[in-house]
Amino acid sequence: MQELLYETLLIIILLFYPTWRIYGRAGLNKNFSFTLLIPFVGIFVCAAILAYSAWHVKSLEGK
């Protein structure tokens, strides 16, 4: 049981910062990355938020 806890914490630590950055660059609230803390379904909730929300990203064509 304790091994599962350590594995889960390691995955959350490795995924939290990149997810924080992705939400920021997508123009969404960075605090949505805390959905990773929901046991077993957090990664799916996080992916669903990214998949079904409108991204407010500026186009690179204007450069």
Summary count for the chain: helices (H), strands (E)? 2, 0
Residue that wins the pLDDT comparison between 52 and 12: 52
Q: Is residue 3's pLDDT more than 60?
A: yes
Q: Is residue 6's pLDDT more than 70?
A: yes
Residue that wins the pLDDT comparison between 20 and 7: 20
Whole-angstrom distance, CA of residue 55 vs CA of residue 58: 9
Instruction: State the pTM of this model.
Output: 0.70
With a CB cutoff of 8 Å and minimum separation 6, the contacts of 41 are none
Q: Residue 44 has what pLDDT?
A: 92
Distances (CA, A) of 15 to 1, 12, 37: 21, 5, 11
What does the pLDDT look like over 25-62, one tens digit per residue? 888 999 999 988 887 898 899 999 999 998 887 666 65
